[in-house]
Structure 1
Amino acid sequence: MARLTLAFRSPGENFDKWQAAFAALMPDLSFVHWRDVSDPGAVDAVMCWLPPEGWLASFPKLRLVQSLGAGVDHVLKDGRYPAHVPLVRLVDPAMTRAMTDFVTFQVMRLHLGEPTYRRQQQVGLWEPHVPLRTVDRRVGILGLGELGTATAAALVRIGFDVAGWSRTPKDLPQVTCFSGEAGFAPFLARSDILVCLLPLTSATEGILSAATFAQMPQGAGLINVGRGGHLVEADLLAALDSGQLSEAVLDVFQTEPLPEAHPFWTHSRIVVTPHVAAVTNPATASLVVADNLRRLQAGEGWPDRVDLASGY
């Protein structure tokens, strides 16, 4: 098969780790840092995170764009994206497991009342609270793609009453599934803890808003591990301060890193984590990328190819 040239670009770098992984997996691959690309016409594929406007269009013979994450909004925000070039999401089982672990941990924290005890400790208050049984705690998963489906299954195994919402109908074992506009309100009404795992598209931007929070049970909790663009930040603060929501766990933000003066840092009912729910690991993700590159060489399709029209 013809030798491929793969260009790499990411603010997080890790170039050396990716280079070592590909050297073992695909010795014939020409893996090039974007700064070292001398001939754009020789680049067959690109692996990237947050590519700048027009950068992808600068490669005249580009045949594949590999996202460095499960989401692709960071790529599709480029108004000059070459629409004829396939875009592939990164679906790494290790990342899926990391996400399910993170969400499960945060759901359990909220379920058992850990944030309440932390606040009580700060004022020296000894006040026990009896938590609901897991079977009586209703968890809603907003988005039933690869990550949402795996997370729902993990929470079912623990014993939670799990529901999920998706744009189109889904059927998952032991998960109450809602879909479309008609299913959104009844889904929210039974979400004591809401987990957002949606892709960020024009249809989902700002979906975590005052209108959404108002349809949830009073005192519900929110976990956002989707994208910062899903959340209307001022609406969350208002919902927490009014008691409509009780707690929020935020791993993604409109601006990253989160600015030092942002009110999320010091709010007593918000937990901030720095976009770490499912971090891309070159050791495992390189196996997935290598398979996608071999598919390119063989002229095969990709199971995780993005529908550019829908944005996921």
Structure 2
Amino acid sequence: MSLVLLAPDRNMQPWKEALLNIDPNLDVEIWPGVSNSEKVQYVVAWNQPKQVLNSYPNLKAVSSLGAGADHLLKDDSLPEDIPICRVVSPSLVSQMKEYVLNAVLNYQRNTHMYAMQKVKGIWEPHPNKSPEEFTIGIMGLGELGRPTATYLAQLEYRVSGWSKSVKNIENVETYSGKEELESFLTGCCLLICMLPLTEETEGILDLDTFKKLKRPGYLINVARGEHLVEEDLIYALDKEWMEGALLDVFSKEPLPESHAFWNREKIMITPHVSSLTPPEEVAPQIVDNYKRALSGMDLKHKVDREKGY
């Protein structure tokens, strides 16, 4: 019986060491160095190649390496009867709050504009934006979005939030459902996407969304690249409906060198680092769920396939 770590774009050795620190008797292998596919009963995956998961005939469960599980839900090589779980990490929340606050401050103090000016050798001060001058709109009020909204509100920013279902958050004006999406968008100019990726939310950051923001709008995407219709963002920037964007996630990662975003001065790029899962923090969860899967017990932090999260 073995547990496989499957994440082609990451160094998984620290993860293996963290798991063995919990239980030295575990048989942990790092893909593609799997000695016997029939022994594999549990996989921890991130951005896995297609048609890999169906090569393990005795697979009992799959865990996401992070808080999101869309990469697993969209993998048609994973049998529907295989349960999916994810990891939950307190530091994911704190890291996300830090990243978002830094992004908000960069917007508020025009850091993105000064970065553009530096390249051109332009010395031109711009008025700072006071927190009273703009409303931050957070799309998605789940395990990362809700605490981020609360955190920003505690710092006396004007914050609104939109989610699929009704949420009540102190000092945050909340909206829910498709019928309230337009009212949410028209009230904010700084839009932060923290939604789960589902069939309903894929492509939600499109021209129609950008048109409804207070102008000029600004986008921060820390959710998934597939939420964004890339050509619509470029169009909105060219039309000056949007003054800029900070993107941490992309539909294809790493972002190809030839991608148009690299040459867009109004788009700031970070390499999917807004919130990184610490191996030593979530290793106990992975080991626990691995043993639960082997014994036929219910998994913790199980993903609802119908909801998509």
Q: Residue 128 of structure 1: CA displacement?
A: 4.1
**Partner of residue 159, structure 1:** 156
Note if contact 1:92-1:288 (Cα within 8 Å) is conserved in structure 2.
Answer: no
Is 1:93–2:87 an aligned residue pair? no
Q: Under a length normalisation based on structure 2, what TM-score does the superposition of the two structures give?
A: 0.92
Correspondence for 1:239: 236
TM-score normalized with structure 1 length: 0.91
Q: Distance in 1 between matches of 2:125 and 2:219?
A: 24
Query: Is residue 227 from structure 1 mapped to residue 238 from structure 2 by the alignment?
Result: no
Q: Percent identity?
A: 38
Amino acid paired to 2:125: E
State the number of aligned residues: 308
Q: 1:253 aligns with which of 241, 250, 254?
A: 250
More off after superposition, 58-67 vs 175-184: 58-67
Aligned residue for 1:305? 302
Contact 1:219 1:245 in 2 (8 A): yes
Q: Which of 258, 262, 265 is the aligned partner of 2:259?
A: 262
1:125 to 123, 126, 132: 123
Q: Which moved more, 1:46-55 or 1:85-94?
A: 46-55
State the shift of 1:136 in Å: 4.1
* Aligned mate of 2:79, from 82, 87, 91: 82
Change (3 A) 1:262 1:15: closer
Shift of 1:164: 1.1
Tell me the distance in 1 between the aligned counterparts of 2:158 and 2:197: 26
Q: How far did 1:261 drift? A: 2.6
Cα RMSD (Å) of the superposition?
2.0
- Contact persistence 1:142–1:166 (CA under 8 A): yes
Separation in 1 of the partners of 2:275 and 2:190? Answer: 20
TM-fit CA distance, 1:310: 2.2
Contact 1:167 / 1:179 at 8 angstroms: preserved in 2?
A: yes
Whole-angstrom CA distance in 2 between matches of 1:168 and 1:303 = 23
Q: Distance in 2 between matches of 1:87 and 1:286?
A: 16
Change (3 A) 1:267 1:292: same
Taking a change above 3 Å as real, the CA distance of residues 92 and 115 of structure 1, as seen in their structure-2 partners, is same
Match of 1:147 among 144, 153, 176: 144
Q: C-alpha displacement at 1:81, in angstroms?
A: 1.6
Note the alpha carbon deviations across 1:229-288, whole angstroms, 9 max, x for none.
Answer: 111111101111111111100111122222223221122211011111112332223233
The correspondence for 1:43, drawn from 40, 44, 56, is 40
Shift of the 303–150 alpha-carbon distance from structure 1 to 2, 3 Å rule, reads: farther
- For structure 2, list consecutive stretches of 5 or more residues without a partner in the other structure: none
Matched residues in 2 for 1:17 and 1:57: separation?
26
Letter in structure 1 aligned against 2:221: N
Which residue does 1:272 correspond to in 2? 269
Could you tell me how far apart the structure 1 residues matched to 2:134 and 2:288 are?
A: 40
- State the alpha-carbon separation in 2 of the partners of residues 259 and 35 from structure 1: 23
C-alpha displacement at 1:178, in angstroms?
A: 0.9
User: Which residue of structure 1 lines up, in the alignment, with residue 204 of structure 2?
Assistant: 207
Contact 1:209 1:236 in 2 (8 A): yes
2:30 corresponds, among 33, 50, 58, to 33
- Residue 64 of structure 2 corresponds to 67
